[in-house]
Chain A
Amino acid sequence: GENVEQHPSTLSVQEGDSAVIKCTYSDSASNYFPWYKQELGKGPQLIIDIRSNVGEKKDQRIAVTLNKTAKHFSLHITETQPEDSAVYFCAASGTGGGADGLTFGKGTHLIIQP
């Protein structure tokens, strides 16, 4: 089955700086890669996703890049703000169409230092 590795486990950055979280996946058949933000005691919130036919996607301060050949994808957050502090999870799924469950990475605790 799919295996998703995520690094780093903890990331501390100064407010206003950029943060980058990286993930690798094992199953070359995976074609959908979402990123979720989870605050303490809450469910994950989808912040951005990318499909395998696209190399990069951006939404305001958040961007995701995908390298299918190397089987890795990354989340980039620019101009970080205190409210960006949370745990971020990457995930991967296979056939798509909403029929596949997600395999998650272990999460990155992002800390924004004021």
Chain B
Amino acid sequence: GAVVSQHPSWVICKSGTSVKIECRSLDFQATTMFWYRQFPKQSLMLMATSNEGSKATYEQGVEKDKFLINHASLTLSTLTVTSAHPEDSSFYICSASQLAGGEAQYFGPGTRLTVL
């Protein structure tokens, strides 16, 4: 139980293009989904908190117009990196917490984004 998937697992794009990453909770409904970014050999940094049907809450320093988050249903959240630049290259990981399931967050396998 508590499986979270991400698609794609890796993507390479050209500078200036946009990339969409999907996060799905496969066997549970997620009240809240979170997006994190992880640079090589570093820790995970929270980017934004996403609740189904409402606008995402972004952490300080994260540009909401650059990282568009849509939480369309209780099982799907998407992160779109707009006008990507090489410095956006990173490992993007989502997590989800269960509806009425307490604080535990279950993470997806991550998406490796490389911007050329």
Contacts and interface: CB of A to CB of B under 8 A. Distances in A.
A6 to B, nearest CB: 8
By secondary structure, the B interface counts as strand
A96 B43 contact: no
B81 interface: no
Contact of B103 (A32, A36, A104, A106): A32
Contacts, number: 68
A34 to B, nearest CB: 7
Nearest to B6: A43
B43 A105 contact: yes
Interface stretch (B13-21, B63-71, B104-112): B104-112
Interface stretch (A11-19, A44-52, A55-63, A77-85): A44-52
A104 B32 contact: no
A64 B97 CA distance: 21
B27 interface: no
